Amino acid sequence: MLIYIARRLALLVPVLLGVTLVTFALTRIIPGNPIDQLVSPLASPEQRQELIKQHGLDKPFYDQYVVYVKDLAHGDLGTSFTTSEPVLKDLSSRFTATFELTLYAMVVAVLVGVPLGIASAVWRNSWVDHVSRVLAVTGIALPVFWTSLTLLYLLFFRLHVLPAPYGRIDPRVTPPPTWTGLLTIDSLASGHWAALRSSVEALILPVAVLAFAVMAPIARITRSGMLEALESDYVRAARSLGLSLQTVVLRHGLRNAVLPLITMIAVVYGYLLGGVVLVEQIFAWPGLGRYVFTAITSSDYPAVQGFILYATTIYVLLFLLVDVLYLVIDPRIRRGARAA
Amino acid sequence: MSAIAAGAARGRSGLAEHAVRVWRWARRNPVTAFGFVIIFGLIAIALLAPVIAPYGSYELNPSDILAPPSLHHVFGTGNFGEDIFSRVLFGARYDLAIGFGAVAIGLLVGCTLGALAGFLRDPVDEVTMRVMDMIAAFPGFILAMGIAGALGPSFVNLIIAISLVNVPIYARLMRQQFLVVRDSQYAMAAVGVGAPPARILRWHLLPNTWGPIFVQATLQFGYAILDAAGLSFIGLGVRLPAPEWGVMVSLGVQRIVSGEWWVSFFPGLAIAIAVMGFNLIGDGLRDLLDPRRK
Amino acid sequence: MTTAPLLQVRRLCTEFVTPSARLPVLDNVEFDVNEGEILGIVGESGSGKTVTALSVTKLLPAAGRVVGGEVLFRGRNLLALSDRQMNKIRGEQISMVFQNPRASLNPLLPVGVTLEQVLRAHRGLHGEEARRISFELLADVGLPDPARVLRRYPHELSGGMCQRMMIALALASGPSLLIADEPTTALDVTIQFQIISLLKRLREEHGLTLILITHNLGVVAELCDRVIVMYAGSIVEEGPALEIFDRPRHPYTLGLLASRPRVGPNGSLAGIPGQVPDLRDRPPACPFHPRCKYEQDVCHEQAPVLEQASPGHRVSCHFWREIV
């Protein structure tokens, strides 16, 4: 079985190489001289010429790509124009902020979406089903940046129930000592109640907006997975044995429906990674999204490219995790893996 | 309703009969019908914008900056006194055009690639699908960001970026349909009778593949609008002063904290309505084509 | 014996509801099952045998609906019970075994887990005691090495073992009635024999009442006390097994018996011309008339009813007296 996982990891390499190739190709299709991406527009012609040679931009495409990959292997994603720091360092330091946001959004989406999907399937065509389907369609259709702005206006400006969008925590509150990087966990662990309260308040709106957007596909896939499971022979047999509805739905139905759900969670995380670019700016959230938003508006190419690579790598690794989970849950795949 | 029924009763076939059938279908599928109403409405707005908009989309009224919704300005005015209602109406042209362009190009390119892969098998199949996998390895919006950022923000580049990101979806779908149908009995029978490949393609393979692809295209139309608006919102799409809905929302970001909610609200609402319309149609079509219904 | 029958089905009517139509599947099905007997229900695919079983146990798929009649089990009308009440009956009083045994087991769970769930739900057993009873149950159905089998997943067991497991599960809570829907159809011939022997033995040892649904007349001859012949959603003939085989009265039954392949020099296979009708195109009045060689005008005008041909033997045909 470990061999199976190792093989899956090995298959990752060509995928990641492919990703780097596409990202690299993107840098080369920018109209104009590629040197402009690596050099601040304020450099003099001599400096440019020097840097062209230095960066090997006079070499053919393939050679440049090899250099690019070598740099990546050493963790060199270039240097940001705006921060003058290595891009990788910029990204890593902002990662936990985005992670906290996306993690909670995912958790909420699953906690709300899965029961909705189950209810939809078990009480098909009832009012529960219709309501959840309406919610699902609305969730997908509303643009996250618009929902953020509208709710911010209503709940902060108008009703004053939520704080101003100052970021992860009220600037007047002392942040907790860093342990995991997740403010909520860190505050809880160190007993900084004011920090806990403030960080939770700050999370409510962005998490709600993101969760609502991705709740729909989760509910949908749960519903369809459950419907299929509930119409299956083994569920019919379980019912014929007089097992309770709860046992049948949860231990037999849901267990089988969870497989496509896991894949959907990975796919949906991709939406979230894109969504944070839109949402973090609005909430002044100091994460990857705001970083790349600023990078885009100031033409900080290395930062943008670095972000694309970083986010996509996370996305690809997530699918690896999905594969491993499938192995854990489905004994038929385990058997295939063992035989391999 | 009675006029139509009476017309049908009088034996006038054609249009009247057709209308009655459509009405009956709409009553059985109210949700999907509602989706169609929305989309036809938007198309009508896009076409009739110059006629029905009270102001021009670039018309500025410096004396009336940031006015809340009123009788004069149904959706209020923006930072430069522009009438938001008119701009939202004109915006329909941009967003529908972008959606259409993105889907059309994605479909054409994707389906062609998928068909070639399915028809010609290896090595074309293997290579094409590996390339598709490479593109699909990226989260959609992020890749579109990369492409749009690399090409530079513009209307055309936006369409290119979004369509490229969606090519793998159509390619995979088309290829899968092709593989299923290609090995089916009636296709084999056609080959057995000596029908030329082009004919097989046209009469046997294509008619059966269009269904799921059409459903997907309808849904993708909505998502394309969503992506276009998102990209324009961060400055990688259509730029000012064009009245595209996403860009219009971005104009209102700073205005939220000062209470001028209408600047972002109405364009964003337009986006939501458009996407919802396409989703309802797409879902309805999917249910309609579901073989389990038959 | 004058005790009331264990199961009494009266005027059972079932429909399938599709978005475009309501299709009748069972037309006034009526029969009794006496305690301790083995009743066979035979017919071709599409005759309504499985639907009858699913209607009785209220396990119809989403599109199915019982629209009329009564199902009296020990005097209680099952159709009038709530889901919770019915769930109490399933497993403890009435159990089912299905056609495709491996598909009837949850692919993601070891088979022992499902057995644990059943024992806990109906007999309140846990831990060591549950394990002990599990071993007994498996021994009862002829599964060796119970500790190993209980740990296995369905895809790791053979078809025959899966079916034995299903029977063990079905009998775990001590039901009085077992409905077996084509229990051997998906299995190899040699395994079929084993399963049938098992059912026979279980009937003798536990006093089980059995409804056996099958299209295999050989199995019926081997095992059943009484037989019901179904066609297109109606019962066409009913009686003691020996009599049905010896002196069939309905043209369809005649056709079925005649179409059995016979070993010997006698030549051709006889079949029944035509096909079982589609649910949407059920023939009016007697459903068999399009394929019947004794068909006359009255057959498609007036539906025949079940009449008594001899004690315990009923047949639904206008001309059963004339048929030899």
Average pLDDT, chain B: 84
Query: What are the start-end ranges of the E strands in chain A?
Result: none
Residues of C in contact with A248 (CB under 8 A): none
- The DSSP H or E segment spanning C236 is strand C234-240
In the three-class reduction of DSSP (H, G, I as helix; E, B as strand; rest coil), residue C145 is classed as coil
Write the residue in B146, B152, B233 that is nearest to A145 by C-beta: B233
Mutation target to probe the B interface, by most B beta carbons within 10 A, among A145, A209, A221, A307 is: A145
**pLDDT at position A205, please?**
92
pLDDT band at B94 (very low <50, low <70, confident <90, very high): very high
In the three-class reduction of DSSP (H, G, I as helix; E, B as strand; rest coil), residue A125 is classed as coil
In the three-class reduction of DSSP (H, G, I as helix; E, B as strand; rest coil), residue C317 is classed as coil
C-alpha–C-alpha distance, residues B227 and B229, integer Å:
5
CB B141 within 8 A of CB A274: yes
Q: For residue A326, what is the nearest residue in chain C, using CA coordinates?
A: C108
Percent of chain A with pLDDT over 70: 92
The reply to whether residue A141 touches residue B259, judged by beta carbons under 8 angstroms, is no
In the three-class reduction of DSSP (H, G, I as helix; E, B as strand; rest coil), residue C188 is classed as coil
Tokens of C63: 């599109």
The reply to whether residue B145 touches residue A297, judged by beta carbons under 8 angstroms, is no
Mutation target to probe the A interface, by most A beta carbons within 10 A, among B133, B142, B251 is: B142
The reply to whether residue C104 touches residue A236, judged by beta carbons under 8 angstroms, is yes
CB of A255 within 8 Å of a chain C CB? The answer is: yes
The order of strands in the sheet holding C7-17 is C22-33, C7-17, C64-73, C76-77
C-alpha–C-alpha distance, residues A108 and A210, integer Å:
9
Chain A residues 270-299 with a CB less than 8 Å from chain B: 270-271, 273-275, 277-278, 281-282, 292-293, 296-297
Q: Which of these ranges, A140-144, B3-7, C82-86, has the smallest mean pLDDT? A: B3-7
- Residue B121 pLDDT more than 90? no
Percent of chain A with pLDDT over 90: 32
CA distance A5 to chain C (A): 20
Q: For residue A283, what is the nearest residue in chain B, using CA coordinates?
A: B253
Residues B34-92 have pLDDT tens digits of 889 999 999 999 999 888 888 877 878 778 788 888 888 888 888 888 888 989 999 99
Q: Which of these ranges, A201-215, B141-155, B239-253, C255-269, has the smallest mean pLDDT? A: C255-269
C-alpha–C-alpha distance, residues C183 and C164, integer Å:
10
**pLDDT at position A97, please?**
92
CA distance B78 to chain A (A): 16
CA atoms within a 13 Å half-sphere pointing along the CA-CB vector of C233: 25
Amino acid symbol at C63 = A
Mutation target to probe the A interface, by most A beta carbons within 10 A, among B127, B145, B262 is: B145
Mutation target to probe the B interface, by most B beta carbons within 10 A, among A16, A24, A138, A149 is: A149
Average pLDDT, chain A: 85
- Residue C103 pLDDT more than 60? yes
- Residue B3 pLDDT more than 60? no
pLDDT band at A36 (very low <50, low <70, confident <90, very high): low
Cα(first)–Cα(last) distance of chain A, in Å? 9
Q: What is the pTM of this model?
A: 0.83
**pLDDT at position A159, please?**
87
The reply to whether residue B264 touches residue A146, judged by beta carbons under 8 angstroms, is yes
C-alpha–C-alpha distance, residues C237 and B214, integer Å:
52
Residues A78-94 have pLDDT tens digits of 888 788 888 888 898 99
C-alpha–C-alpha distance, residues B250 and B236, integer Å:
12
Q: For residue A336, what is the nearest residue in chain C, using CA coordinates?
A: C155
φ/ψ region of B11 (left if φ > 0, alpha if ψ in -120 to 50, else beta) reads: left
**pLDDT at position A57, please?**
65
φ/ψ region of A127 (left if φ > 0, alpha if ψ in -120 to 50, else beta) reads: alpha
C-alpha–C-alpha distance, residues B48 and B234, integer Å:
29
**pLDDT at position B109, please?**
94
**pLDDT at position B283, please?**
85
CB of B143 within 8 Å of a chain A CB? The answer is: yes
The values of phi and psi at residue C102, to 5°, are -70, -35
Per the DSSP assignment, residues forming a β-bridge with C209 are C177
C-alpha–C-alpha distance, residues C231 and A80, integer Å:
79
C-alpha–C-alpha distance, residues A183 and A196, integer Å:
7
Residues of B in contact with A273 (CB under 8 A): 139, 141-142
**pLDDT at position C267, please?**
63
Report, as an integer, the average pLDDT of A304-319. 90
C-alpha–C-alpha distance, residues C178 and C210, integer Å:
5
Write the residue in B137, B271, B280 that is nearest to A19 by C-beta: B137
The reply to whether residue A308 touches residue B138, judged by beta carbons under 8 angstroms, is yes
**pLDDT at position A100, please?**
93
Report, as an integer, the average pLDDT of B18-32. 81
DSSP string, C265-285: TT-PPP--SS-PPPGGGPPSS
- Residue B181 pLDDT more than 80? no
Residues of A in contact with C100 (CB under 8 A): 233
Percent of chain B with pLDDT over 90: 36
Average pLDDT, chain C: 87
C-alpha–C-alpha distance, residues A212 and A151, integer Å:
12
Higher pLDDT, residue A32 or B248: B248
**pLDDT at position B256, please?**
84
Tokens of A221: 């896939």
In the three-class reduction of DSSP (H, G, I as helix; E, B as strand; rest coil), residue A174 is classed as coil
Q: Which of these ranges, A42-56, B73-87, C62-76, C199-213, has the smallest mean pLDDT? A: A42-56
**pLDDT at position B294, please?**
41
Chain C residues 248-267 with a CB less than 8 Å from chain A: none
CATH number of this structure's domain C7-83+226-261+269-322: 3.40.50.300
Tokens of A123: 């009480």
Amino acid symbol at A1 = M
CB A251 within 8 A of CB C120: no
CB B57 within 8 A of CB B90: yes
The values of phi and psi at residue A246, to 5°, are -60, -50
The values of phi and psi at residue C245, to 5°, are -70, -35
- Residue A53 pLDDT more than 80? no
pLDDT band at A288 (very low <50, low <70, confident <90, very high): very high
Maximum CA pair distance of chain C? 68
Tokens of C112: 């022992």
Indicate the burial class of C2 (C-beta count within 10 angstroms; 0-12, 13-18, 19 or more).
exposed
CA distance A252 to chain C (A): 7
**Inter-helix orientation angle A2-28/B140-151, to 10°:** 20
Higher pLDDT, residue B289 or C108: C108
**pLDDT at position A269, please?**
94
Which chains lie within 8 Å of chain B at 3 or more CB pairs, if any?
A
Higher pLDDT, residue B5 or A180: A180
DSSP string, A95-151: HHHHHHHHHHHHHHHHHHHHHHHHHHHHTTTSHHHHHHHHHHHHHHHS-HHHHHHHH
Instruction: Report which DSSP code applies to A51.
Output: H
Q: Tell me which residue of A312, A313, A337, A339 sits closest to A325, measured CA to CA.
A: A337
**Residues in contact with C145: Cβ distance below 8 Å, sequence separation at least 6, in sequence order:** none
Q: Name residue, tokens 């609008």.
A: B225
- Residue B292 pLDDT more than 80? no
CA A177 centroid distance within chain = 26
Tokens of B44: 């009508």
Vertex B288, ends B285 and B292: CA angle to 5°? Answer: 135
Residues of B in contact with A165 (CB under 8 A): 257
In the three-class reduction of DSSP (H, G, I as helix; E, B as strand; rest coil), residue B290 is classed as coil
**pLDDT at position B213, please?**
86
- Residue A249 pLDDT more than 90? no
CB of B292 within 8 Å of a chain A CB? The answer is: no
